[in-house]
Amino acid sequence: MTPLHFNTLALHAGYNPKEHGHAGVPPIYQTAAYIYDDAEYPADLFDLKKFGYIYSRINNPTQDVLEKRITALEGGTAALAVASGQAAQFLAITTLCEAGDNFLASEQLYGGTYHQFSVSFKKFGIEVRFFDPAHPEEILKIADTKTKAIYVESIGNPSGFIPDFDALKILKEKLGVPLIVDNTLCTPALFRPLEVGADIVLYSASKYLGGHGNSIGGIIVDGGKFDFGASDKFPGFTKPSEGYHGIVFSEVFGKNFPLGNIAFAIKARVEGLRDFGPCISPFNAFLFLQGIETLSLRMDRHIENARKLSHFLETHPAVTQVFSAENKNSPLADRAKKYFPNGSTATFSFILKNGKSAGKHFVENVRVAVHENNLGDARTIVTHPASTTHRQLSEEEQVRCGITPGLIRVSTGIEDIRDIIADFEAALV
Ligand SMILES: Cc1ncc(COP(=O)(O)O)c(C=O)c1O
């Protein structure tokens, strides 16, 4: 059989009804634990000699279908579904870094990510070193032997910045570290980071993957290409694991593992998820599976609407600048066309001429769009980042993330765009 296409995989990948009572839709396995027939079977599971269900903090059949589905959509070797996008970042970084290590991150990030990296990781002795993604070559000046990863968002939230993935690929190879890409704003329907050199892909599934603003979750995808055993840079992979009976992850689950190199995903699950515990609920895993079924359809409409809305805003006298790669005259239009030929994202931002007061007036006066600090919902959402998503950042940090007082972020929904444009027209001053 020829390989299935993306839209078919979105409905079928990772699910065999015969393994689930012939249910037409992946069932919600609302269980904490699993009943064993004998004593040997769980012993083999705990020793990782066999794969099966141990306890729903570590894995669960509904979660498993979601993980297999997203693995197929991304072209990776394995995935891990977790409690939130923040949890996905946390597990990804702490699987790679130990106290004393550092990682390099683009400064154009979602505010919560920026804060997690710059403030909370410090408590674990893990240092983030930010770089300006417009100058990726800076990476070589700030990296050292303790650098364990490069981290970017495929499209910065909310700055809209698109990194030069070709340059990042060369740089990460030079440093011998994995490239992690948070692909939340694009989704695999529009962009597959593994195809341009990423090694690990992260999602806040709470956004477009779920698509209906009803649940929080995160995903980590292991691309299976990074050989953690190639050097002694990652002792957590090449030395016997203290947390797992002396197993050497890169030897057992690395490039010679029959199911593909899943060393990163398995370590993140059996050490990270097991010990820190940010597991996804089976119900949320089910909702994300539902969302993914219509992902392409929704993204097509999101993009079509975003193009119309950003063109409208570009010519509006109350607006000084629109940061959308969907606009032909965006400085990032060529890069967007290269990496995102089918559209980049429907989340973009714009600056109001009359600054903070106009921003406040706008978010308080939209009637169809909703004023929230979420994105990726079927409904159009407007956000004032300076007072919400990036509020915990200092003014200087806000500027680094591309946040100014009059900046509005819009997550364009799938409504009739004429109603959204009329709504914006009435609220802009
Ligand atoms: C790009 C990006 N990454 C990560 C996150 C964090 O995800 P979550 O809210 O699911 O923890 C967000 C949340 O807005 C985001 O926009």
For residues 286 and 386, state if they share a domain.
no
Question: Is the distance from CB of 346 to CB of 375 less than 8 angstroms?
Answer: no
Residue that is last in its domain, among 270, 291, 312 = 291
Backbone phi, psi, residue 427, to 5°? -95, -10
Domain count, the chain: 2
Nearest of 217, 235, 165, 170 to residue 194 by alpha carbon: 165
Alpha-carbon distance of 39 to 41, in angstroms, equals 6
- Whether ligand 1 lies within 6 angstroms of the CB of 153 is answered as yes
For ligand 1, atom 3, name the residue with the nearest CA. 204
Cα 234 to ligand 1 centroid, rounded to whole Å = 27
β-pair type (370-371, 218-222): unpaired
For ligand 1, atom 10, name the residue with the nearest CA. 85
Cα 19 to ligand 1 centroid, rounded to whole Å = 33
Residue that is last in its domain, among 276, 291, 306 = 291
- The answer to whether residue 14 is domain-embedded is yes
Nearest of 187, 181, 160 to residue 169 by alpha carbon: 181
Tally: H helices and E strands in the chain: 17, 12
For ligand 1, atom 16, name the residue with the nearest CA. 110
Q: At 358, is the secondary structure helix, strand, or coil?
A: helix
Of 42-51, 147-156, 163-172, 259-268, the range with the lowest mean pLDDT is 42-51
Identify the pLDDT of residue 118.
97
Q: What is the pLDDT of residues 4-19, one digit of tens each?
A: 999 999 999 999 999 9
For residues 80 and 99, state if they share a domain.
yes
For residues 347 and 255, state if they share a domain.
no
- Whether ligand 1 lies within 6 angstroms of the CB of 377 is answered as no
- Whether ligand 1 lies within 6 angstroms of the CB of 206 is answered as yes
Cα 251 to ligand 1 centroid, rounded to whole Å = 33
Q: Which atom of ligand 1 is nearest to the CA of 89?
A: 4
Cα 34 to ligand 1 centroid, rounded to whole Å = 31
Task: With residue 220 as reference, give the H or E element that holds it.
Answer: strand 218-222
Confidence of residue 348 (pLDDT cuts 50, 70, 90): very high
- The answer to whether residue 1 is domain-embedded is no
- Whether ligand 1 lies within 6 angstroms of the CB of 345 is answered as no
Structural domain boundaries enclosing 280: 6-291
Question: Is the distance from CB of 13 to CB of 69 less than 8 angstroms?
Answer: yes
Identify the pLDDT of residue 398.
82
- The answer to whether residue 372 is domain-embedded is yes
Q: At 236, is the secondary structure helix, strand, or coil?
A: helix
For residues 287 and 387, state if they share a domain.
no
Nearest of 77, 407, 139, 404 to residue 268 by alpha carbon: 77
Identify the pLDDT of residue 407.
93
Question: Is the distance from CB of 155 to CB of 162 less than 8 angstroms?
Answer: yes
Identify the pLDDT of residue 2.
87
Angle between helices 417-427 and 355-365 (to 10 degrees): 130
Q: At 198, is the secondary structure helix, strand, or coil?
A: coil
Cβ-based neighbour number of residue 231 at 10 Å: 10
Task: With residue 266 as reference, give the H or E element that holds it.
Answer: helix 263-267
Identify the pLDDT of residue 385.
85
Alpha-carbon distance of 25 to 175, in angstroms, equals 44
Question: Is the distance from CB of 249 to CB of 265 less than 8 angstroms?
Answer: no
- Whether ligand 1 lies within 6 angstroms of the CB of 86 is answered as yes
For residues 144 and 259, state if they share a domain.
yes
- Whether ligand 1 lies within 6 angstroms of the CB of 178 is answered as no
Residue 132: give its domain's CATH number.
3.40.640.10
Cα 110 to ligand 1 centroid, rounded to whole Å = 7
For residues 21 and 112, state if they share a domain.
yes
Q: At 261, is the secondary structure helix, strand, or coil?
A: coil
Residue that is last in its domain, among 228, 258, 291 = 291
- The answer to whether residue 20 is domain-embedded is yes
For residues 273 and 142, state if they share a domain.
yes
- Whether ligand 1 lies within 6 angstroms of the CB of 184 is answered as yes
Count of positions (residues) in the chain: 429
Q: What is the pLDDT of residues 171-223, one digit of tens each?
A: 999 999 999 999 999 999 999 999 999 999 999 999 999 999 999 999 999 99
